[in-house]
Structure 1
Amino acid sequence: MAKQKTSFQGARYEQRAKRRKVNRILNTLIGFVFALILFFGWQLIFSNGNEREAANDSADVKKEETVEQEEIENKESVNVEFNDNAENGNKEEKEEVVEDENEEVTVIEGDPNSNIIQEIVNPSWQPIGTTQSEPHVTTFDKNSVDWKEMIDAISYATRLSPSEMIVWFIGNNGPNKAVATISTKDKKQHYKVYIEWVEQQGWKPTKVQQLRNRE
């Protein structure tokens, strides 16, 4: 009888041990599954958050690019309009100056028997400016500042650049006055240019004569 009781108790003990083992395994599996659920749930939430941030960042970048592009287009439009207005204004100013000059210019035809083809006087001529100080002393030295400024005044009156003319002569024509004889580089046109010194303002053309032959 004692042996049967001991055997029965041993069997119950084994069953309990098996149940505990099974429970441990189940609890472990449940914990593992729960951990997996938490892990993947967190990954899903975190991934959605990143996607939203990326989408928001992308939208912000597109907005900034759109605003910058609009600002650039507006600036270009303003610059084009400003340049067009400036060009139109410059054209109008140039046309007005030419018209004014043409209205004021006096052209006198020369005597057919003289060496003068025509004589031109333009009251709109202005002194060319100077770097020299007063009192001014006229100098006909080709290396002097005064000579260079006389050449500039002659160029201004004839509309020939210094490189387009041959200067044959520049000489005294009275107090603070000078006269020059020049030709175009091809020697087909000849001019006599009269200039005078304006105090603190430089040389000013007073008269241009177009000649038949060089004097």
Structure 2
Amino acid sequence: MPTSRVNKFEKRRKNTKLLSILIVVASILIIVLLGMLIFGGDDEADKTDDNQTEQTADGSSQGDEADSDSTPEEQDDSAENNTDTEANDSNNGTGSEDESDSEEENSEEVTTEQVEPSDDNVIEAYTGDWQPVGTEQSEPHTINYNDGSQDRQEMRKAVASATGLDEANFTMWWIERNGDQKVINTVSNADESEIYRVYNTWVPNEGWQPTKVERLKENDQKERFE
């Protein structure tokens, strides 16, 4: 009898212990499942919200792009208008080639440097990297000082390129020999508000090249003709 009771007690104790373990395990599983349901559901909801937000941003940006782009019909109209404008520019002589040529001419700037004046009549003197103006004359070259000569015409181009005077309208008062194939041109505009000495040198096969300019206070060559 005592042994049987001990066995029964032992069995009950074991069963109670096992039941307690099972209850603990079951409780843990329930807690884990609840946690998964709660937090897992929030994550899914967050992902869904994020996806919706991204889609909305993409949609709005695509909508902006769609608004900024013209329709095919509008693009066709724009292309036709551009074609008409280019055709009109071409007929009027104001095409893109003329514009590009003008831009190239404006971009060719001359670098100048101040130098010492040669006398008290000089306001300022400067040298520059002017290029020879070109020539129609052959070598060997002999200077022809006569009015209307090829040298006189090409000297005028050189003076205009160095001073900015209008080639057709300035007065060439005097041409002075300044060494072998070198001259000094004294010139002015019509009202003599701009008076210059321009030093020119002959470059074989390339023509007259300005090398120095002096802006004068007075026309010191005018008295020759009074």
Percent identity, aligned pairs only, is 31
Structure 1 residue 106 corresponds to structure 2 residue 113: yes
1:72-94 deviation per Cα after TM superposition (whole angstroms, max 9, x unaligned)? 65632665899786577556545
TM-score by length of 1: 0.55
For the residues of structure 2 that align with 1:150 and 1:78, how far apart are their CA atoms?
Answer: 40
Q: Matched residues in 2 for 1:95 and 1:177: separation?
A: 29
Match of 1:201 in 2: 206
SS state at 1:150 partner: helix
Q: Counterparts of 2:107 and 2:168 in 1: how far apart (Å)?
A: 28
Q: Which moved more, 1:79-88 or 1:150-159?
A: 79-88
CA apart distance, 1:171: 2.0
More helix by share: 1
For the Cα contact (< 8 Å) 1:196–1:205, is it kept in 2?
yes
After superposition, residues 1-150 of structure 1 pair within 5 angstroms as 73=81, 75-76=83-84, 79=87, 89=100, 93-94=104-105, 96-98=107-109, 101=110, 104-108=111-115, 110=117, 114-123=120-129, 125-150=130-155
Kept in 2: contact 1:117–1:210 (CA 8 A)? yes
- 1:28 aligns with none
From the superposition, tell whether residues 182 and 74 of structure 1 become closer, same or farther in structure 2 (CA, over 3 Å): closer
Q: Which has the larger radius of gyration?
A: 1
Counterpart secondary structure, 1:175: coil
Tell me which amino acid in the other structure corresponds to 1:96. Answer: S
Residue 179 of structure 2 corresponds to residue 184 of structure 1: no
Amino acid at match of 1:136: H
Deviations 1:94-147 (A, max 9, x none): 55333xx2xx21134759x81111112111x11111111100001111131112
Asked if the contact 1:109–1:117 (Cα under 8 Å) also holds between the matched residues in 2, the reply is no
User: What is the number of equivalent residue pairs in this alignment?
Assistant: 141
Cα distance, 1:77–1:204 mapped onto 2, change above 3 Å: same
Report the secondary structure of 2:172's partner residue. Answer: strand
Question: 1:164/1:81 Cα in 2 relative to 1: closer, same or farther (>3 Å)?
Answer: closer
Asked whether the equivalents of residues 86 and 95 of structure 2 are also in contact (C-alpha less than 8 Å), the reply is no
Is there any run of 5+ residues in structure 1 with no aligned partner, and where?
A: 1-68
TM-score normalized with structure 2 length: 0.52
Letter in 1 for 2:170: M
Structure 2 unaligned blocks of 5 or more: 1-76, 221-226
